[in-house]
């Protein structure tokens, strides 16, 4: 079997067999296929795509390059949630304890932020003492005992994906739907939960900018999951504006705690209940309506907040932050952004907000960058709200006034106020 021949087949849009794809993935992972040849095949895939069968085979080959977790001792159905990422996406912080409070089991591996999108792991690490690095046995035990655990991706899971993604990042092949699908789903299948809910973000602050590309990715990932015996559903959600009111690690944890304490009710809270209900419905025989009701009940009763505190304590964190969020990190400087005219908040360009938060120190420009856990932005209004001149639009937090002033220019340009009223934002676009 020659790599050159497989590159030619993909260029001609001839299907590769499962064994041919396994040969490519195994050979590259074991350093038997050089970077330049794998780059050529990835570019062929980027230009000509893969069939659903080829995508499923690639996913399985990447999954099988490393360890596969085993939750067979968990006395129930395990359910995972994957979001394709965006600005202010803190849903995992609330969904995991809500589902666990309803009797579900949520083993979750999350990533760190890189670039203008935040990472769940960075948010959790802003909680004093919280450890995202658990041994496999401790991970299993916590899920079994508490119902949820959120840890960093580590160990020998999908080593092929790490190598392939590094190469894609250098060869302009990141935005290939089959390659994105195989990368995401290989990790989901290695985690090996029984059910998977996919939250595919769409809009200016998401990787998939259009509905068409978001649908294509959701369909590809869902079909791959089902082909490998997983129950799976997908939702397309809006990321044309930041998700929630806070963007920045500790600020987002604070907002999540406020929602879990039922202190605020906004579109993010509604999305969290919807997604939690869908995860419960996937992992049980109850109707979606009943599962959403149970999720809301867990939130209002305080059981979800208790479960979040329990998870924090189990992972070495200071659980008292759920009662005293002021213990979370703070930045040294802050600044308010004032509306220069009256009207209605029509849009907030989420990618620009993400880039502003990157300037403030809330994100990373490289894998080794240090972040300021207290940096970020808190918005005081939602899309559709009436704004009066001199109202405070947002609070800017950083470790210096200079950083606040630098981000202010970008944030002002990202916020659009119009004379005409606009409809309230609907976060769920479609369900697949």
Q: Are 353 and 415 within 8 A, CB to CB? A: no
Active site residue 187: yes
Q: Is the pLDDT of residue 109 over 80?
A: yes
Residues, the chain, total?
A: 432
Q: Is the pLDDT of residue 227 over 90?
A: no
- Catalytically annotated residue among 82, 108, 123, 278: 82
- Catalytically annotated residue among 46, 81, 90, 187: 187
User: What pLDDT is recorded for position 370?
Assistant: 86
DSSP secondary structure string, 275-301?
HHHHHHHHTSSS-HHHHHHHHHHHHHT
User: What pLDDT is recorded for position 85?
Assistant: 84
Q: Is the pLDDT of residue 1 over 90?
A: no
User: What pLDDT is recorded for position 166?
Assistant: 87
User: What pLDDT is recorded for position 118?
Assistant: 73
For range 310-315, the mean pLDDT? 98
Tokens 């106020």: give the residue.
Answer: 417
Within the chain, how many helices (H) and strands (E) appear? 16, 13
With a pLDDT cut of 90, the percent of the chain lying above it is 89
Q: Is the pLDDT of residue 154 over 80?
A: no
With a pLDDT cut of 70, the percent of the chain lying above it is 99
- Catalytically annotated residue among 122, 161, 199, 372: 161
User: What pLDDT is recorded for position 405?
Assistant: 95
| CA atoms of 315 and 321, how far apart (whole Å) | 14
Tokens 């470790």: give the residue.
Answer: 399
User: What pLDDT is recorded for position 187?
Assistant: 93
Active site residue 168: yes
Closest CA to 314 of 123, 147, 120: 147
pLDDT tens profile 185-201: 999 999 999 999 999 99
Q: Is the pLDDT of residue 366 over 80?
A: no
User: What pLDDT is recorded for position 115?
Assistant: 64
For range 54-74, the mean pLDDT? 95
Residue 73 gets the label, from left (phi > 0), alpha (psi -120 to 50) or beta, of alpha
Closest CA to 397 of 389, 413, 408, 382: 408
When pLDDT is cut at 50, 70 and 90, the band that residue 317 belongs to is very high
User: What pLDDT is recorded for position 18?
Assistant: 96
For range 268-283, the mean pLDDT? 97
Q: Is the pLDDT of residue 116 over 80?
A: no
Q: Are 379 and 385 within 8 A, CB to CB? A: no
3-state secondary structure of 242: coil
State residue 397 phi and psi, 5-degree precision: -125, 130
For range 306-326, the mean pLDDT? 98
User: What pLDDT is recorded for position 156?
Assistant: 87
For range 361-367, the mean pLDDT? 81
Token reading at 36: 């330049």
User: What pLDDT is recorded for position 174?
Assistant: 85
- Catalytically annotated residue among 46, 90, 168, 410: 168
- Catalytically annotated residue among 65, 126, 183, 283: 183
Active site residue 265: no
| CA atoms of 294 and 207, how far apart (whole Å) | 32
User: What pLDDT is recorded for position 114?
Assistant: 65
For range 321-347, the mean pLDDT? 97
Least confident of 7-21, 57-71, 167-181, 282-296: 167-181
User: What pLDDT is recorded for position 185?
Assistant: 95
Q: Is the pLDDT of residue 64 over 70?
A: yes
Q: Cite the DSSP H helix spans in 78-195.
A: 91-101, 120-125, 136-146, 159-170, 177-191
């Amino acid at each position: 079997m020659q790599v050159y021949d497989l590159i030619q087949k993909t260029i001609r849009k001839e299907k590769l067999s499962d064994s041919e794809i396994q040969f490519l993935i195994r050979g590259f992972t074991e350093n038997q296929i050089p970077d330049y040849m794998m780059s050529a095949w990835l570019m062929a895939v980027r230009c000509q795509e893969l069939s659903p069968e080829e995508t499923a085979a690639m996913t399985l080959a990447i999954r099988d390059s490393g360890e596969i977790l085993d939750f067979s001792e968990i006395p129930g159905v395990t359910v995972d949630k994957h979001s394709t990422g965006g600005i202010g996406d803190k849903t995992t912080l609330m969904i995991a304890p809500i589902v666990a409070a309803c009797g579900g089991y949520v083993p979750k591996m999350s990533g760190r932020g890189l670039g203008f999108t935040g990472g769940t792991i960075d948010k959790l690490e802003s909680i004093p003492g919280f450890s995202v690095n658990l041994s496999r046995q401790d991970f299993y035990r916590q899920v079994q005992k508490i119902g949820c655990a959120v840890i960093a991706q580590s160990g020998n899971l999908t080593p092929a994906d790490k190598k392939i993604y590094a190469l894609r990042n250098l060869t302009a092949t990141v935005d290939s739907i089959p390659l994105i699908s195989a990368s995401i789903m290989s990790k989901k299948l290695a985690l090996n939960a029984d059910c998977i809910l996919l939250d595919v973000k769409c809009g200016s602050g998401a990787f998939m900018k259009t509905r068409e590309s978001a649908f294509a990715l959701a369909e590809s990932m869902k079909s791959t999951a089902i082909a490998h015996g997983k129950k799976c559903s997908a939702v397309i959600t809006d990321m044309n504006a930041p998700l929630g009111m806070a963007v920045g690690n500790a600020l987002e944890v604070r907002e999540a705690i406020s929602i879990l304490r039922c202190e605020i009710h906004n579109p993010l809270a509604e999305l969290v209940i919807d997604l939690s209900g869908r995860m419960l419905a996937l992992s049980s025989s109850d109707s979606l309506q009943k599962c959403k009701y149970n999720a809301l009940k867990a939130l209002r009763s305080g059981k979800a907040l208790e479960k979040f505190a329990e998870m924090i304590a189990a992972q070495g964190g200071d659980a008292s932050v759920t009662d005293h969020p002021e213990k979370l990190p703070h930045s040294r400087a802050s600044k308010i952004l004032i509306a220069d005219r009256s009207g209605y908040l029509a849009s907030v360009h989420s990618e620009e907000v993400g880039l502003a938060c990157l300037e403030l120190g809330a994100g990373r420009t490289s894998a080794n960058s240090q972040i300021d856990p207290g940096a970020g932005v808190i918005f005081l209004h939602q899309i559709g709200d009436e704004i009066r001149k001199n109202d405070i639009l947002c609070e800017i937090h950083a470790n210096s006034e200079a950083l606040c002033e630098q981000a202010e220019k970008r944030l002002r340009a990202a916020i659009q106020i119009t004379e005409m009223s606009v409809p309230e934002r609907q976060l769920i676009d479609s369900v697949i």
